[in-house]
Structure 1
């Protein structure tokens, strides 16, 4: 009988094992530090038959949990307790408890869904909502529903939002373990304006060391920020230790054990809930985390730095109160706390879903239908993932191919799996494995070849171990290293060509523009094989983070399926017709097209009209007047009189382009004829009656009606309207009369002539008599004779 440590979860072990016995599933809500990751598996191993498999979201956490449980038993890892992560496994025939990563367990379920010998699966840290963990939960529920009704499932969560999880597990009982914590005092240390995160965190760490006894645990978004923060703290009288997934196992162990001096542990999100760092009395929280994000429109998957959720901030702060009262220093303003999201965004909503699509295809449910999801995969990103799999030859007619199964077995992202398989065949297993291992871990330099030299020179043991593992997985030809080719095989759509000589901006085959940063060492290359590019908010194009020099020959070799040769007829200020050879969006060569398809020419002209507007046509005074008359009739009478807006005319442009083939031809189109062609019949015969071009006034003059304002307007000399008793109407609409002086200047404006004669004329007459004494200004305009002349004429 193992003596379990006195941790809070011990109080609920009886309830937990009873729930699993009765229901076959349960949810354990237990904050970090309760012992759920180490004590519960040990208790289950004594209570149940079969092997206990613990699924952790991270490799670091899997190794640490196995080491802690083995230490509690006084054994070596690999005896009763073992672990398996990608590239590293320590188990034996005696192993009862195996800690694995969620992704590795997905692969095991794919190979043998019945999981022989396994009695219980513990899904740890479900609240973190990692993509592999969500997929694993869905697959295990499917297995339990059809193949292994006896398989027990226990899901653990550090947050109380467990209702949906319990429902997925068949209305499973929810057991809660309450952690015994000490009070944590919160302080806020917002950064100065434009201050980098590592600077504000380093300042907060110095404050914590001066105010609190014990070790400091600081949370930063990634390995880069950790390295820069460490360099800022080089003068401290304390051990500064990094803790993230890319440091060696020995350095990870050092960060998880108390030391002879005070320690400052600089950690990523891995230390939020999966791991316990002993001796911590102060927590410094940058408030940031690095999470998967995909710009689907530009095809730039990668990691984005985002603000943490309120739940994560609470978990981080709680690390300071595990063993004694502590303090948490938050590197943001206190008023910003209320704007934090409540919980982290599930990766399935934001991440690249290509690998998920491959696993679903292996499970014979490409769209995930029939599986029970915490959150189902969004259609758009899943479709994008399936399209990429088809391009890589992993999917055909909606089903997994033999090549697709080989790619899945490698346990890599499908892009990297393709690069390893095809790269090994073309450059040899080891050169391909070197590049793939580097791409999987992420580089620190922009130049791929320089990064490979750095890894070789520093004898990075983790990278070297992964290279050896990958090289053993694939057959290959004699070695002929070509890093750029391997990069291009992984990301063919990111092959890029410089836009113009001397420019740092490259156009990728995907159509996305990306800029090469200064000092990259790659500035002289016309072609690049881009491994990683990101786009920051507000920037017009992406930034190239990792790339290798390439050339046109390599591009054609790596991405022959992206090559096309088509006749293109488009608009660029005029009709441009050319035969173009492209690699994706990149133009390889072009030549003029002498006899382009007339329909393509027509479409190009229409594009030009839509882009630049109807001013490309010649509008005579007659044409403008006719358009205005028709617009008036459409407003007053509606259909069938046609609309005369730009949009409406452009919609009918194809009807009147005629034989136009270029910009100059548009100016020669008879717009009057084109407009008359739009007139409805038989209504067109009444055009002059409903919207006359001219109106005869009492003087006998025929004055043109102006329809440009949308209303009929008649500008006529006042003297020519004497004897006109009432305002004329056009289609029932009163004409707006602009009554002019003998010099043609406005004297009055009215649409009610009868009222004007009785009320306004007297004052207008008095003013005009003084200015134009030679003209007749009768006292009674209704009985006077209209005239265009003076008294003497």
Structure 2
């Protein structure tokens, strides 16, 4: 095949270099900015020098179709001759096709069916820097196939960024693959920042910036928005601009509508695009770019069982790529819808999807490949173990893998459908109940919820059946054929039952079946335990049950918002989610009492309950134990003696350690069976626990025979020189003895407890029992502190003894009537 002659082609030299490099090394990395021909010219150059087919893997269907169309146009041919494409539901390939552009996901499926890729000589992995989940998986599987079955398969990875070192290491194995860098012709791009106004929605901000771009430049304006909904709202705001056509561009449009956006128009255009136009597509005529600074990426909230698309700020690399679209053909300008000072806070590169997305489909592909956990594969970023384990759990529930993680025959059928495993399961299983066509109608909507407006799936389905839009109709036909083909190969049939869209939704998402929390309420509880809310004007009526197809959670909200649902009932819920039905005898502690009942649940939803007699004694005991842990030891009856015993034990544990036990709340709860076992065995409610003598129970923790020395090691009362026996206070870390100073006259050293290890802290009191000194070193106090105390108090209490040398006067109670005065 001869390459087309392009007089302004600046890249002819690097094409020869790529062909030569792949011939020598089999793998290489090409780093080239947009507009240099890496998506269109490189595959043609490779095809010209090989007898086998060149496969070009693109991350998006739109990009695959556009790339094939551009290459065919360069050759002066129609798509399907030398250059063809294959995307889900659409294939244009002929016998003479040398270059085939496929989506990454479709090539994964082809590789699963034919790991040798018979007849393929080169695989080009385009736009690797975008880090889509399917693209990362495809790279890992291709490298594994090269290592075993196809060492001669040549692989070229292309990227628009310079982050190529990791790719080079992966492709080259022990010897890094060569990196070819191309610096294409670029034009300067001026940047203007457009901060948001107070209370201004993103669509209004973007529309304002777009009007500035139209006034400040010539040519077309390419506008980047996060999704189709924002494109629709911005289109409405830009309506009726004289001499300007507003054209949408996103992956959910029909092929004809997409082609319209990718062709020059007869008038000036504003092209409102999602991220599809960032790198692998060329939108001709663009001189200005308006960047919302937002992108929509897959995210999963595993804790709430919600997954979908989240709107995030773009990375600095993406912002730079978007701006570069204005300088592809001439000097341009970019309007960025954020303050200039925020630009430095953008992350360097986008987060790889494999780190944040739902990995259920990835887990199924790995199981089909024969490595459930992905070990042994060379990953750019290995899938997170938690996300992969969650995906395998879903697959086990669907019957797609067995307990060991190996794929089942059912799992292989699910994989061949080319949908998320949940949707594939719903399609296959619902076809047997409602018919292949009816099941396909609902699944097509679940896979692309932009097909209908509003949250009522039933109403939206009726509109689609009336209007029969081509995009939906073609996908329904494809899915129906897929089911019928799978049934034929599996030897099973289908039937046309009653139309029941809620049943199809429930088969895909049984944990999203939801019951209304109260009559007239817009709040629902899903089987998975997450609370969700119906938006105003949802159109589903006052449905008691819903089968929720799409639910999202906005930042700052604990519950989810229902975006798509169908009215259901309890009978449908029981049938669709029968594996989540449980009937158990529950003996539990509820609001201070043991409640004994037999309950039927559908996941987190309580369906029915009734009291039962003669419950299992072990369940009763366990419930009381849970109740005690809930209310804590303070619920028991603690008189002064029990409190004192606990404090003394705590002191001995702190001072001496074992065998004296800890008696803090946590330790007492952990050892409840040892010291409170008999009482817990007979208790049935909080009142029973409140009557328990804590002191009597606590004595079961005393260590024997060491307990015989307890009064010696930690006496409850201590004899002082006057003959009194004041109580020792163990409520603080150091024991305290509060005593009148006259009663300790003659004591020269502070008494010590716990075999002499811990000195008592003396709180010395006046005759009126007011503290006059605190000391743990009595000898030092007599020398240094006593003179000041004596001077302060002897005039106030003249009838009491205040000797100069307190060690020479006998201790006494009361006044100094019988003591020697000085």
TM-score by length of 2: 0.93
Segment of structure 1 superposing worse, 456-465 or 769-778: 769-778
Segment of structure 1 superposing worse, 71-80 or 455-464: 455-464
Segment of structure 1 superposing worse, 656-665 or 343-352: 656-665
Q: 1:128 aligns with which of 127, 130, 152?
A: 130
For 1:179 and 1:774, the matched residues in 2 are separated by 107
1:708: how far off? 0.4
Is the counterpart of residue 230 in structure 1 residue 232 in structure 2? no
1:262: how far off? 1.3
Segment of structure 1 superposing worse, 540-549 or 496-505: 496-505
> Match for residue 270 of structure 1?
276
Deviations, residues 705-755 of structure 1 (Å, cap 9, x unaligned): 001012111122233333333322223322222222333332332333334
> Match for residue 399 of structure 2?
393
For 1:173 and 1:634, the matched residues in 2 are separated by 69
> Match for residue 246 of structure 2?
240
1:216: how far off? 0.8
Does the 8 A contact of 1:8 with 1:178 survive in 2? no
> Match for residue 444 of structure 2?
437
1:536: how far off? 2.6
Say if 1:145 and 1:727 are closer, same or farther in 2 by CA, change over 3 A.
Answer: closer
Segment of structure 1 superposing worse, 782-791 or 533-542: 782-791
Where structure 2 has 5 or more consecutive residues not aligned to the other structure, the ranges are 485-493
1:598: how far off? 2.9
Does the 8 A contact of 1:8 with 1:35 survive in 2? no
> Match for residue 467 of structure 1?
476
> Match for residue 499 of structure 1?
517
1:458: how far off? 4.2
For 1:71 and 1:654, the matched residues in 2 are separated by 82
Within-5 A mapping of 1:306-317: 306-317=312-323
For 1:680 and 1:271, the matched residues in 2 are separated by 77
1:763: how far off? 4.3
Within-5 A mapping of 1:20-31: 20-31=22-33
Is the counterpart of residue 83 in structure 1 residue 102 in structure 2? no
> Match for residue 200 of structure 1?
205
> Match for residue 43 of structure 1?
45
1:518: how far off? 2.2
> Match for residue 645 of structure 1?
664
> Match for residue 713 of structure 2?
690
For 2:514 and 2:467, the matched residues in 1 are separated by 30
Segment of structure 1 superposing worse, 265-274 or 504-513: 504-513
Local SS of the residue matching 2:318: helix
Local SS of the residue matching 1:694: coil
For 2:564 and 2:284, the matched residues in 1 are separated by 37
Within-5 A mapping of 1:223-372: 223-237=228-242, 238-372=244-378
Where structure 1 has 5 or more consecutive residues not aligned to the other structure, the ranges are none
Does the 8 A contact of 1:355 with 1:413 survive in 2? yes
Is the counterpart of residue 730 in structure 1 residue 753 in structure 2? yes
Segment of structure 1 superposing worse, 468-477 or 388-397: 468-477
Say if 1:593 and 1:711 are closer, same or farther in 2 by CA, change over 3 A.
Answer: farther
Local SS of the residue matching 1:657: helix
Deviations, residues 122-177 of structure 1 (Å, cap 9, x unaligned): 11111111111112222222222222233222211111111221222223222222
Q: 2:608 aligns with which of 576, 589, 594?
A: 589
RMSD: 2.0
1:791: how far off? 6.4
Is the counterpart of residue 657 in structure 1 residue 658 in structure 2? no
Deviations, residues 683-725 of structure 1 (Å, cap 9, x unaligned): 2111111111001122222111001012111122233333333
Local SS of the residue matching 1:293: strand
Say if 1:112 and 1:688 are closer, same or farther in 2 by CA, change over 3 A.
Answer: same
Local SS of the residue matching 1:60: helix
Does the 8 A contact of 1:736 with 1:750 survive in 2? yes
1:289: how far off? 1.0
> Match for residue 754 of structure 1?
779
Q: 2:56 aligns with which of 21, 42, 54?
A: 54
For 2:447 and 2:539, the matched residues in 1 are separated by 22
Is the counterpart of residue 522 in structure 1 residue 540 in structure 2? yes
1:503: how far off? 3.3
For 2:624 and 2:241, the matched residues in 1 are separated by 70
1:670: how far off? 2.6
Does the 8 A contact of 1:657 with 1:669 survive in 2? no
Does the 8 A contact of 1:723 with 1:782 survive in 2? yes
For 2:200 and 2:54, the matched residues in 1 are separated by 48
Segment of structure 1 superposing worse, 271-280 or 589-598: 589-598
> Match for residue 214 of structure 1?
219
> Match for residue 188 of structure 1?
193
